[in-house]
């Protein structure tokens, strides 16, 4: 975590964008006021990084019409603007890198001169704290109550801006008329609810999406394991869910990247009108592969059987530290998260040396093995609870407990790691699912939630 205090401590928001081009996959920004487009909007556009922006709607015209016009003129679904009433956050999530939560608006003064205060969390810290899930819930909530920028709404705002410029003092009559428009969704803001009710709503939303995506993955597994789409180098004995996972793995890494960036959201906009056509075309591509494009055969033929044995009910709780490290080395989500965790956190000297993924994952696995939940549960006990702590069909419910309950939640052990572990332990019931799986599905046009870690 880093305190962003501008001139007080020398940490400026512009440093994030200056250093974040390579790692940022997508930007979600909920910022009430915006008057300077080159701070974030032009940066995203110039580097082809998709952006979803939510701004404030009120009679004071908090988003300058010049910026709104740029969104309209660019006319691309990769750069969207929606407006919200009763809205005052300053949250920017550079997905793949980290998130800022603070007081700074998208104005020149806020980024360079004002006294502003906020915190920047790396992607690893968001996952360790569970803030990533809460941020996803935050953006989903405001999006449900936001209205898209249209030419009609722009014309209304531009006209209002002229009035504001002419009458900076009393303007109550015009303000009431402006606020009464039906072009923007009527919303009274976030209603005060108990933390328990809000938690139950988040749980219900998580489970609804997870079960829906589970059926999508199961259906893909059935189809991709059929001789019509199964490559010759994938054995018919491989569980359908495992085949679905590695098909999506190959599609994501081979067909959604431009340079170092995965453009899955752009493909989502292209394919969401007909995901069946996109899926059929991708499965045909998969079937025609004479050899695995990366290490999919190793995962299916070597690592998957090993993981199945190591994660079995009668073996899991007796796993040694070295055994758990071997599990971590074979879980894509854990490997991907390990590289984002600070070296010192996992006991590696921070000398500027670039550690290999295997070295970093080994250190991270040992670190994770020693962690405990707030109520003293180990990571092995948490995994065992999720897999075998009740009826198999309730595994997703127990996953939620592992993410939210003080008894079971382990820092740095998020939904992607759990979803993937569940899939390799119970492949006939639950196809593996991690962040990469969800991104691949979105690229094919399926409206799934991407969980970062």
pLDDT for 56-109, tens place per residue? Answer: 999 999 999 999 999 999 988 889 999 999 999 999 999 989 999 999 999 988
- Is 106 in the same domain as 162? yes
Mean pLDDT of 283-291: 96
- Is 167 in the same domain as 267? no
Could you say which of 131, 148, 183 is where a domain stops?
A: 183
Could you say which of 183, 208, 241 is where a domain stops?
A: 183
- Is 127 in the same domain as 250? no
- Is 263 in the same domain as 372? yes
pLDDT at 110 over 70: yes
Q: Work out the percent of the chain whose per-residue pLDDT is above 90.
A: 69
- Is 360 in the same domain as 402? yes
Work out the pLDDT band at 181, boundaries 50, 70, 90: confident
Q: Is residue 450 part of a domain?
A: no
What pLDDT digit, counting tens, does each position of 189-220 carry?
Answer: 655 556 567 778 888 888 999 999 999 999 99
- Is 300 in the same domain as 419? yes
Could you say which of 137, 152, 183 is where a domain stops?
A: 183
Q: Is residue 189 part of a domain?
A: no
Domain that holds residue 210: 196-443
- Is 333 in the same domain as 439? yes
Q: Is residue 335 part of a domain?
A: yes
- Is 209 in the same domain as 262? yes
Please give the tally of structural domains in the chain.
2
pLDDT of residue 173: 72
Helix (H), strand (E), coil (C) string for the chain: CEEECECCCCECCHHHHHHCCCCCCEEEEEECCECCHHHCHHHHHHCCCCEEEEEECCCCCCECHHHHHHHHHHCCCCEEEEEECCCCCEEEEEECCEEEEECCCECHHHHHCCCCCEEEEEHHHHHHHCHHHHHHHHHHHHHHCCEECCHHHHHHHHHHHHHHHHCCCCCHHHHHHHHCCCCCCCCCCCCCCCHHHHHHHHHHHHHHHHHHHHHHHHHHHHHHCCCCCCCCCCCCCCCHHHHHHHHHHHHHHHHCEECCEECHHHHHHHHCCCHHHHHHHHHHHHHCCCCCCCCHHHHHHHHHHHHHHHCCCCCHHHCCHHHHHHHHHCCHHHHHHHCCCCCHHHCCCCCCCCCCHHHHHHHHHHHHHHCECCCCCEHHHHHHHHHHCCCHHHHHHHHHHHHHCCCCCCCCCCHHHHHHHHHHHCCCCCCCCCHHHHHHHHHCCCCCCCCCC
Q: Is residue 95 part of a domain?
A: yes
- Is 159 in the same domain as 224? no
Work out the pLDDT band at 243, boundaries 50, 70, 90: very high
- Is 15 in the same domain as 118? yes
Q: Is residue 46 part of a domain?
A: yes
- The model's pTM is 0.74
What pLDDT digit, counting tens, does each position of 215-234 carry?
Answer: 999 999 999 999 999 999 99
pLDDT of residue 288: 96
- Is 13 in the same domain as 152? yes
- Is 378 in the same domain as 294? yes
Q: Is residue 451 part of a domain?
A: no
Q: Is residue 209 part of a domain?
A: yes
Q: Is residue 421 part of a domain?
A: yes
């Amino acid at each position: 975590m880093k305190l962003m205090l501008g001139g007080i401590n020398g940490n400026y928001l512009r440093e994030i964008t200056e250093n974040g081009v390579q790692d940022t996959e997508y930007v979600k920004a909920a910022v009430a006021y915006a008057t300077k487009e080159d701070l974030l909007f032009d940066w995203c556009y110039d580097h082809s990084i998709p952006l979803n922006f939510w701004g404030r709607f009120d009679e004071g015209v908090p988003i300058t019409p010049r910026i709104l016009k740029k969104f309209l003129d660019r006319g691309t679904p990769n750069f969207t603007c929606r407006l919200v009433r009763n809205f005052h956050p300053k949250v920017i999530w550079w997905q793949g890198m980290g998130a800022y939560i603070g007081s700074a608006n998208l104005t020149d003064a806020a980024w360079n001169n004002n006294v502003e205060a906020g915190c920047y969390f790396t992607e690893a810290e968001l996952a360790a704290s569970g803030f990533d899930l809460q941020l996803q819930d935050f953006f989903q909530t405001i999006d449900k109550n936001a209205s898209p920028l249209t030419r009609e709404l722009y014309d209304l705002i531009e006209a209002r801006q002229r009035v504001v410029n002419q009458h900076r003092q009393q303007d109550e009559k015009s303000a009431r008329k402006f606020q009464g428009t039906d072009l923007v969704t009527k919303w009274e803001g976030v209603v005060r609810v108990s933390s328990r009710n809000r938690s139950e709503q988040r749980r219900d939303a998580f489970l609804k999406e997870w079960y829906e995506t589970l059926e999508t993955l199961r259906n893909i597994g059935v189809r991709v394991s059929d001789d019509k789409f199964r490559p010759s180098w994938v054995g018919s004995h491989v569980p359908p869910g495992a085949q679905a996972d590695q098909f999506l793995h190959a599609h994501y890494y081979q067909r959604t990247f431009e340079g170092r960036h995965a453009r899955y959201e752009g493909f989502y906009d292209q394919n969401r009108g007909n995901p069946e056509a996109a899926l059929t075309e991708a499965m045909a591509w998969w079937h025609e592969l004479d050899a695995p494009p990366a290490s999919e055969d190793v995962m299916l033929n070597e690592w998957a059987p090993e993981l199945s044995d190591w994660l079995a009910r009668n073996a899991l709780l007796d796993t040694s530290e070295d055994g758990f490290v071997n599990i971590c080395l074979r879980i894509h989500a854990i490997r991907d998260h390990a590289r984002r965790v600070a070296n010192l956190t996992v006991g590696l000297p921070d000398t500027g040396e670039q550690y290999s993924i295997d070295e970093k994952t080994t250190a991270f696995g040992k670190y994770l093995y020693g962690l405990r939940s707030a109520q003293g549960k180990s990571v092995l006990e948490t995994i065992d609870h999720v897999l075998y702590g009740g009826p198999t069909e309730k595994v997703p419910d127990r996953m939620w407990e592992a993410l939210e309950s003080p008894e079971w939640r382990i820092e740095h052990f998020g939904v992607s790691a759990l979803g993937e572990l569940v899939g390799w332990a119970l492949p006939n019931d639950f196809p593996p699912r991690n962040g990469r799986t969800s991104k691949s599905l979105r690229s094919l046009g399926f409206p799934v939630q991407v969980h970062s870690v």
